[in-house]
Structure 1
Amino acid sequence: MTVVLAGATGLVGRAFVRIAGEGDYPVTAVGRRDVEGVAATIRTDFSAPLALPPADVALCALGTTMATAGSRAAFYAVDHVAVLHFAQAALAAGIRHFIVISAVGADPRSPVFYSRVKGETERDLAALGFARLDILRPGLLLGRRRERRPGEALFQRLDPVLRRLLPGPLSRYAGIPAATVAAAMLALCGQGGEGTTIHHNAELRRLASAV
C-alpha cells in the first residue's frame, strides 16, 4: 500500500509517519518542508495546482487555527484552498480513495467561521467524485505540538474532567490522542468499498484498536 500525505509535519501527520514507518508502509509527504522518515517529499505551498505520483490513498492532515493563521483569509487558504488543491491533484494522479481530517461540528451552515469552513471543505471534497471519501471529525486533538497554543493546552489539561461531563453523543467533543486518529487513518487506508463516511471519536478509537 502506498500513500501520499499532506500535513506530515503537524500533530496527526507526525504520528502517522511514525506509525506507517513501524509497519513499513511507504509514505510520500507533500508540504512546505522536508520530512524525515518518509520515502519522498514533494515541496509545495499548495497555492497552485501540483502533480502527485500514483498511490493507493491520499491523506490530508492539513489544518491551522485562526490565531496561527492571523486572519480569516489566511485560515481559509489553508483549511479550504490548500485541501482542495491537494484533493484535485490526487484525483488527477488517479487516486480514488481520499481521507481527510476535519473537525467535530463541521457544518457549511454554521454561524461559527471555523466550523463553517470545515463544513464547506467537506462539501466540496464530496463533490469531487472520489470513489471513497473518509471524513474524520475528531474532538480536541491531544498531543505535544511544536507551536504554542495556550488555549488548546489548557483544554488538554482539563480533558479528563471534560470527558466525564460529556456522556453519550456529546463524547464526540471530548479529546482524543493524535496518535489514535493517525492509527485510525492507517486502518482506513486498508479498507475497500465506496462512498462517503464520517467518523467521530468512538469510531476512530474502534478503528485504531485494530492497528
Structure 2
Amino acid sequence: MGAALTILVAGATGLVGGLVLGLARDVIPVSRRPIPGHPGVVADFDDLPPLPPADVAICALGTTRAKAGSDAAFRAVDMHAVLAFARAAQAAGVTRFILVSSVGSNASASLLYPRTKGEVEAALEQMRFARLDILQPGLIIGPRNERRPVERFLQWAAPAMDLALPRHLGSIPAETVAGAMLALTKHSQPGVFRHGNRAIAAVAAKFLGLQGFGRA
C-alpha cells in the first residue's frame, strides 16, 4: 500500500467539498471560515497565506449568479478564488489539481456561467500541473445548507428530466462527484483529463463501494 497523500481542499463548506472532507484522511481544508473538527487554513482567497506542503489539491469552489448578486461577485468565486487557490497550491508543491467544473463549459460561450467555467479550465491548463483532472458533471444533486430555490426545484424535477436528457446532461449525486475526486487523487498519469457524468460515475464506483455508499 502506498504512502498516504496529503490533500488540500477548497470549497469544503459546500455540498461536494463537504463530502470530500468527510470521506478522506489527511485532508487540509482551505476556507474563509473555520470548519469544526477539521483544522486547516482559514483566510480570504484574495489574500491566501502560504499553504502547507501537499500532494494533490481538490477545488470544489462554486456559487451561482443569483446567490453572488452580480456578475463580478460570481466571477470572484468561480474564477478568481479558484485560480488563487491553484496558484497557492502550486507554490506549496502540489503537482496534481482536481477541479469541479460543469457540463457545457466553454470559454467562448455568450452566457456567463459556461463562459466562466471554460475560462477557468483554460487558465488552469496554462499553469502546467503535471496532472489536471476537470470534472464536468451535470446538475449535482444532494442536500445543501444554503437556500437555492432554482436548484431545489431542479433537484425535485431531476428524475423526470433525466428521462428526457442525454446522460451527460442529466443529474448526478454529489457523493458520486466527491468519490470520483478522491479516486482521482490516486491517478498519477500525467496530462489533462476531462470527465463527464459517465466517466465520473465509473471512476467513483469502486471508491464509493469501499466507503459503503449504495450508489455511484
In 1, the alpha carbon distance for the partners of 2:186 and 2:62 equals: 24
- Residue ranges of structure 2 left out of the alignment (5+ in a row): 208-216
* Post-superposition CA distance 1:4-29 (Å, at most 9, x none): 00000000011111111xxxx21100
- Quote the Cα distance in structure 2 between the aligned partners of 1:97 and 1:196: 10
- What's 1:184 paired with? 180
Counterpart CA distance in 2 for 1:125 and 1:91 is 11
Normalising by structure 1, we get a TM-score of 0.94
5+ long unaligned stretches in structure 1: none
What pairs up with 1:21-170 in 2 under 5 angstroms? 25-38=25-38, 40-166=39-165, 170=166
Give the partner amino acid of 2:88.
A
Q: Which residue of the partner structure matches residue 9 of structure 1?
A: 13
Residues of 2 paired with 1:49 and 1:120: CA distance? 22
Preserved contact between residue 184 and residue 205 of structure 1 (Cα < 8 Å) = yes
In structure 2, how many angstroms separate the alpha carbons of the residues matched to 1:37 and 1:198? 33
Paired residue secondary structure (1:58): strand
Q: Secondary structure at the match of 1:209?
A: helix
The percentage of aligned residue pairs carrying the same residue is 48
Distance in 2 separating the partners of 1:99 and 1:5? 10
Measure, in 1, the Cα distance between the counterparts of 2:175 and 2:43.
25
Q: Partner residue of 2:204? A: 208
Q: Which runs of 4+ in 1 moved over 6 A?
A: none
Write the distance in 1 (CA, Å) between the matches of 2:164 and 2:26.
Answer: 40
In 2, distance between residues paired with 1:10 and 1:92?
25
Partner SS state of residue 204, structure 1: helix
Task: Give the partner amino acid of 2:27.
Answer: V
- d(CA) in 1 for partners of 2:152 and 2:107? 27
Contact 1:50 1:85 in 2 (8 A): no
In 2: Cα distance, 1:10 partner to 1:83 partner: 14
Cα distance in 2, alignment partners of residues 49 and 69 from structure 1: 21
Can you list the C-alpha shifts for 1:22-46, whole angstroms capped at 9, x where unaligned? xxx21100011111343x3101110
| Mapped contact 1:139–1:176 kept (Cα < 8 A) | yes
TM-score scaled by structure 2? 0.92
**Preserved CA contact (<8 Å) 1:18 1:37:** no
